[in-house]
Amino acid sequence: MSTSEAVSIAAEKRWALIVVAIIGFLVLMMVITGLHWASMPPSRVETVDVRTVHTQGEFVESNLGTTMTPDGKVTVRLVAQQYSFVPQCIVVPAGMPVTFRGTATDAIHGFIVGRTNANTMLVPGFVATFTTTFPHPGEQLMPCHEYCGTGHEAMWAHVQVLPPEEFLAKAKPGERLSCVPR
């Protein structure tokens, strides 16, 4: 074996070792992050029991709609099912932060409010929540945007964005508000 051959074989071996070390490091990183995620789910995951969602807890029918606490926090609670939202008509104030809390009972649904950034998926067993502010008063359509079955196209609700004074005149602390005709 000539010297130059020995040198090139040594170099090849060195590089092979470096490549193996890099692959080993990447695999180890995947294993560690995978185990980390599996043992610590993201902190904002909230679950709800689909079997009792209608009969107890936060999403019973009498608790759905818009509420305002005495300190002025506005929360909208809603449930999606094939093929409607409850409530069908949602009242919110313009220019005030509004927190949505929603879930689904049968299939994956979702909604978007008109051209606003209010947009989420509703997955059975999980509570979807986000806070947004509607800048302008007016009426918005709120369609379901996840294909959920044959009635998907017909699944939508209305959102009435009221001027804040009008909303505050209607909202009594602790009461559930909606614009569903009675």
Interface residues with ligand CUA (CB under 6 A) are 80, 83, 109, 144, 146-148, 152, 155
Q: Which is nearer to ligand CUA, 90 or 148 (CB)?
A: 148
| Residue 143: cis peptide before it, omega within 30 degrees of 0 | no
In the numeric block, which tokens belong to residue 156? 């939508």
Distance in angstroms (rounded) separating the CA atoms of residues 120 and 65: 17
Q: Which is nearer to ligand CUA, 157 or 162 (CB)?
A: 157
For residue 41, the minimal CB distance to ligand CUA (Å) is 26
Q: Which is nearer to ligand CUA, 91 or 144 (CB)?
A: 144
Distance in angstroms (rounded) separating the CA atoms of residues 103 and 111: 11
For residue 36, the minimal CB distance to ligand CUA (Å) is 34
Q: Which is nearer to ligand CUA, 148 or 179 (CB)?
A: 148
For residue 147, the minimal CB distance to ligand CUA (Å) is 6
For residue 79, the minimal CB distance to ligand CUA (Å) is 11
Q: Which residues pair with 90 in a beta bridge?
A: 159
For residue 83, the minimal CB distance to ligand CUA (Å) is 6
Interacting residues of 46 by C-beta distance below 8 A, sequence separation 6+: 126, 127, 129
54-62 long-range contacts, CB within 8 A, separation 24+: 54/79, 54/105, 58/101, 58/127, 59/103, 61/86, 62/176
Amino acid code (one letter) for 99: T
Distance in angstroms (rounded) separating the CA atoms of residues 79 and 173: 22
Q: Which is nearer to ligand CUA, 113 or 162 (CB)?
A: 113
